[in-house]
Amino acid sequence: MRCTITGATGLLGRALCRRLLDAGHEVTALVRDEGRARSRVPDGVRFVVGDVRDRAAVESAVDGAEAVFHAAAWYKVGLGRAARPEAEATNVDGTRNVLEAACAAGARRIVYTSTVAIYGDTKGRFVTEDDEPVSPPATIYEETKRRAHYEVFVPLARAGAPVVALLPGVIYGPGDEGPVADALRMWLAGKLPTLPGGTMFCWSHVDDVAAAHVAAVDRAEDGAAYIVTGPAHTLVDAFRLAADTLGRPMPKVVLPPAILRVTAALLSPLSGRLPPAFDPESLRSTAGTTYLGRNDRARRSLGFDPRPLEEGFPPYVRDLAAETSG
């Protein structure tokens, strides 16, 4: 099978490349920097240099593809309003470019990586694919991913296009460069004295999410969405597991959500001028928020079987510790 991947240099994209190559498929990746990609992406991937914001480059990358995986996304928190144009161009316009170009090229399956964050703070509820958003978006990332899902994916799905959406929660695994990994690195360096209390995510190992993406090519229903979230744990629970794994002390202070919300409001005029970790957007998105989804449909249809955090997280944390100490 001929496959095209966007976001191939990211955590999920790299895992997808490995899985597809190991299964004997041909893989093409749309990458912005071929030199950087060669140092990150497994050998055997063909590169097309370009950006999801460039329709011509996208059309070249998906030409002849039987399956297209759109995993590229802008994912940053705490940069202020100045980040909005890039976020919209990548997450909304870029998604439209990829999905529409793949449809026009005749791909038989187009798998779009959405996110359970499109529902916003779920207020402790475990949402399903049939639910509407629960809360207003807390970040530009959430806002633009929500728009991409409902303004691009949903209309194409209703029109009968061979598109499916997979909605993960927090993805972790080897090579992670996301905000959770950043927080863990700060803790390992002794620079994270506090954690937000009450914040809860669904945690998925990257290999489990990649397996669900590949399964979606043949097992998903056209136009369907599948929540591919792992088990739910608070951020404090995850750090406690990390501390137990490494025999290190936890951050000393757990901040109540009310304090974070008040602080975010007070710092609102300074948005975009503070370090990202202290930006009001970052504080709001961790002030007791929950991003929780039920994965029943993905279990039934895709064979999704996420491993427990107690199984996947310790090796991940040990790898981060070795990297930090090295």
Structure tokens at 75: 């994912």
Q: To which residue do tokens 């209703």 refer?
A: 158
Residues contacting residue 130 through CB under 8 Å, at least 6 positions apart: none
Residue 292 burial (10 A CB sphere; 0-12, 13-18, 19+): buried
Helix (H) or strand (E) holding 210: helix 206-219
Q: Measure Cα distances from 3 to 10, 238, 274 in Å.
A: 17, 35, 41
The kind and range of the H/E element at 28 are strand 26-31
Low-confidence ranges of the chain (pLDDT < 70): 78, 326
Q: Which two structure tokens, joined as six digits, stand for 66?
A: 């039987």
* Domains, in order of start, for the chain: 2-172+205-230+292-306 (3.40.50.720)
d(C-alpha 249, C-alpha 165), whole Å: 39
Both tokens of 239, joined, read 């750090």
Q: Is 178 exposed, middle or buried (0-12, 13-18, 19+ CB in 10 A)?
A: middle
- Write the CB contacts of 311 (distance below 8 Å, at least 6 apart in sequence): none
Q: What was the pLDDT predicted at 75?
A: 87
Length of the chain: 326
Q: Which residue has the tokens 């109540």?
A: 256
Q: Would the pTM of this model clear 0.85, i.e. be above it?
A: yes
User: Which tens digits make up the pLDDT trace of 164-192?
Assistant: 999 999 999 998 988 899 999 999 999 98
Asked if residue 53 lies in contact with residue 89, where contact means CB atoms within 8 angstroms, the answer is yes
Q: What φ, ψ does residue 5 adopt, rounded to 5°?
A: -125, 135
Sign (positive/negative) of CA torsion 282, 272, 11, 110?
A: positive
Q: Give the type of residue at 161.
A: A
